[in-house]
């Protein structure tokens, strides 16, 4: 199981309905995208951090390990705005207003990523996917997503075991051995994934699979109080943005 999935299963909000957490987490993401980057996205970023580390109870180290990956993509995208290609100043030159645009992009994307992480750190996929059928998503699509979700963990576990076996046979001592081990890892993982898929198909057929996977979904109800508090928080962030934006103009 991935660390973010393990954190979602042990979250304080684990037993809340996904709609409650979607209103808050995805609402913060929408605000980060739609509000002015300064001070709107900055307020969203601070709010998401406070909620994640406070009421949601996400450990700071685990949050950073998950956040640094999208943050790296955000920074990479922002760096490209610092320069322009072509023009009177040469083939590559500093872009006009590049630092401002890069800062705004970094602020927006990093805040939006925290909103998505808030939902991911509190909502296990096993709770979310089966409920998508009631939201109108076709059942076969949800079934494929569920099987892919389950198979990804098995595949990752198989790859970890293969790498451990290769390391025990000195398969990573030099570059040539590393390439041979990488090729062997890809080939073995493909064969094992194909074999597991075939056995899964046989197992489903033996259990009378009729096109719909039936799984137990934990009982949960949408909390009107939690949802209302989330809406009030989002409205407060939006109102505070417009109040603070006027003196900054």
The per-residue pLDDT for range 103-123, each reduced to its tens digit, is 999 999 999 999 999 999 998
Phi, psi of 92 (to 5 degrees): -130, 125
Please say if the pLDDT value at position 194 is more than 80.
yes
Please say if the pLDDT value at position 13 is more than 70.
yes
For 92-237, list the strands marked E by DSSP: 92-94
Look at residue 192 in the predicted model and tell me its pLDDT: 86
Alpha helices in the chain (DSSP H): 3-9, 18-34, 42-53, 60-79, 98-122, 125-128, 139-168, 175-206, 224-248
Determine the average pLDDT of the residues in 17-21. 90
Asked if 58 and 11 count as a contact pair (C-beta separation under 8 A), the reply is yes
For the chain, list the strands marked E by DSSP: 83-85, 92-94
Q: CA–CA separation, 186 vs 165, rounded Å?
A: 14
Look at residue 172 in the predicted model and tell me its pLDDT: 81
**Whole-number percent of the chain with pLDDT over 70:** 98
DSSP H or E stretch at residue 49: helix 42-53
């Amino acid at each position: 199981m991935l660390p973010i999935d393990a954190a979602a299963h042990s979250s304080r909000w684990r037993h809340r309905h996904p709609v409650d957490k979607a209103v808050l987490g995805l609402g913060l993401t929408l605000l980060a995208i739609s509000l002015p980057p300064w001070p709107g996205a900055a307020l969203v970023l601070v709010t998401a951090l406070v909620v994640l580390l406070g009421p949601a109870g996400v450990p700071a180290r685990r949050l950073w390990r998950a956040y640094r990956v999208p943050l790296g993509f955000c920074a990479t995208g922002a760096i490209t705005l610092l320069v322009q290609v072509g023009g009177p100043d040469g083939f590559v030159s500093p872009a006009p207003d590049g630092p401002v645009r890069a800062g705004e992009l970094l602020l927006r994307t990093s805040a939006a990523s925290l909103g998505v992480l808030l939902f991911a750190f509190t909502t296990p996929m096993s709770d979310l996917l089966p409920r998508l059928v009631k939201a109108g998503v076709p059942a076969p699509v949800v079934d494929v997503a569920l099987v892919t979700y389950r198979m990804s963990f098995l595949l990752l576990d198989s790859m970890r075991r293969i790498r451990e076996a290769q390391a025990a046979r000195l398969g990573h001592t030099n570059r040539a051995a590393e390439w041979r081990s990488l090729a062997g890892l890809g080939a073995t993982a493909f064969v094992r994934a194909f074999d597991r898929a075939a056995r899964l198909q046989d197992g489903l057929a033996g259990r009378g699979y009729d096109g719909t996977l039936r799984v137990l979904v934990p009982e949960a109800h949408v909390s009107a109080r939690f949802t209302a508090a989330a809406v009030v928080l989002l409205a407060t962030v939006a109102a505070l943005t417009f109040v603070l934006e006027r003196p900054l103009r």
